[in-house]
Amino acid sequence: MAVDLLDAPLRISWDICPPGQSPLNRQQLLLVADQLSAAGVFFVTLEEAPLAHPEIQGLLEALRQGGCQVSLLSKVSPAELEVLAQLGSDFNLFVDVDRFCSAGQLDAPALATALKQVQQTHADPALLWTPSRGQLALLPELLKFCSHQQVSRLKLPNQKIGVNPKKSQLDNLPDCTDLGELEKSIAAGDLPARNGLQLEVHDLFLWELLQPLTGGQRSEYGGCQAANSLGHISVAAELFPCSSWPEPLGSLLENELLDLWQSASRLQIREAIQQVPVGCDGCRDYQVCFGGCRGLSRFCRTDDLGRDLLCAERR
Ligand code: SF4
């Protein structure tokens, strides 16, 4: 795999206020925001209840002034709606679909209500969904929902496993069986028309299945981007290679981001990603896929195959 080694990540996800964990204070938040701006990070996504942080407005202003394009994830609680009403619209807002999916069902009426509430405070909110095991088959229904509600953008990001993933959490990640179920459903004609929807799909295998809706175009893919164009920041300001790679590179309260991005730990991770996984050896599509998501395959597979969790077999 030949991928340019970047001096700084382009995209960062950042956990702001996860329930039960101590958030950074204002000074610490702004210090990290300064680091992101100084490193030239283009896209910053604030996750894990960012609207619950009392300094969210100051953080948004600091990131915007530093040239970062900011996205923010909301579960649309009454408290979050109150904060949203104060913040203006100078950021991309994603409604987290997760809480509207349970027991194998999408609660479309509740999601529609939440969407309408958000639309009163923010123009054109998008949806974001990270499906758990057994849920991928709900995707056609979610796509139909987007079409009926004229949602303009749906994002299916990478599977986040956090800093200390628990076994139960890892057992809950979708695998190739889920992908097979979705494939059957699509073959049965369950995909709606694209209807202007902008669909962003992180996972290559999912993207392949959804090509009729993604327009057949995928931005240039050079393989797993952990510790290269992607990075993640925990609530404690630890920098990670990606939200799917739970090995910290160091604290942004004590180190410069640019130094951590040149550290031996980061370079070793990139070297590991350059290696062809055992389970991909001889696959005809390796030059297209490069083994998929290496963080999940490294930390979540129970065999030593090392290939993407959604990949059933070599091609
Ligand atoms: S075996 Fe699967 S993950 Fe590996 S390169 Fe082939 S298609 Fe990709």
**Which tens digit of pLDDT belongs to each residue from 61-117?**
999 999 999 999 999 999 999 999 999 888 999 999 999 998 789 999 999 999 999
Separation of 231 CA from ligand 1 center, angstroms? 23
At 25, the pLDDT band (50, 70, 90 cuts) reads: very high
pTM score of the predicted model: 0.93
Considering the domain delimited by 11-275, tell me its CATH architecture. Answer: Alpha-Beta Barrel (3.20)
At 186, the pLDDT band (50, 70, 90 cuts) reads: confident
23-27, 62-66, 175-179, 220-224 — which is least confidently predicted?
220-224
The contacts of residue 114 (CB under 8 Å, 6+ apart) are 76, 95, 100
Residue with tokens 């509740």: 110
The string of pLDDT tens digits covering residues 161-177 is 877 888 888 888 998 99
Separation of 301 CA from ligand 1 center, angstroms? 14
Domain boundaries, the chain: 11-275
Q: Which atom of ligand 1 is nearest to the CA of 279?
A: 1
CA gap 259, 40 in Å, rounded:
14
The contacts of residue 105 (CB under 8 Å, 6+ apart) are 138
In short, whether 292's Cβ falls inside 6 Å of ligand 1 is yes
Separation of 198 CA from ligand 1 center, angstroms? 26
Burial class for 237, CB neighbours closer than 10 Å (0-12, 13-18, 19+)? buried
pLDDT value for 221 = 67
Q: Give the start-end residues of each E strand in the chain.
A: 11-15, 43-47, 69-74, 92-96, 101-102, 105-106, 126-128, 153-156, 198-201, 230-233, 238-240, 250-251
Separation of 226 CA from ligand 1 center, angstroms? 17
pLDDT at 1 over 60: no
In short, whether 280's Cβ falls inside 6 Å of ligand 1 is yes
| Rounded mean pLDDT, 218-240 | 89
Q: Which atom of ligand 1 is nearest to the CA of 314?
A: 1
CA gap 89, 127 in Å, rounded:
16
Give the number of residues written for the chain: 315
Separation of 284 CA from ligand 1 center, angstroms? 8
Nearest residue by C-alpha to atom 3 in ligand 1? 291
Residue type, 189: G
In short, whether 98's Cβ falls inside 6 Å of ligand 1 is no
pLDDT value for 204 = 86
The Cα angle at residue 150 between residues 118 and 69, in degrees rounded to 5: 55
The string of pLDDT tens digits covering residues 105-145 is 999 999 999 999 999 988 889 999 999 898 998 999 999 99
For residue 40, the tally of other CB atoms under 10 A from its CB is 16
Rg (CA), the chain: 19
CA quadruple 197, 162, 180, 75: dihedral, nearest 10: -40
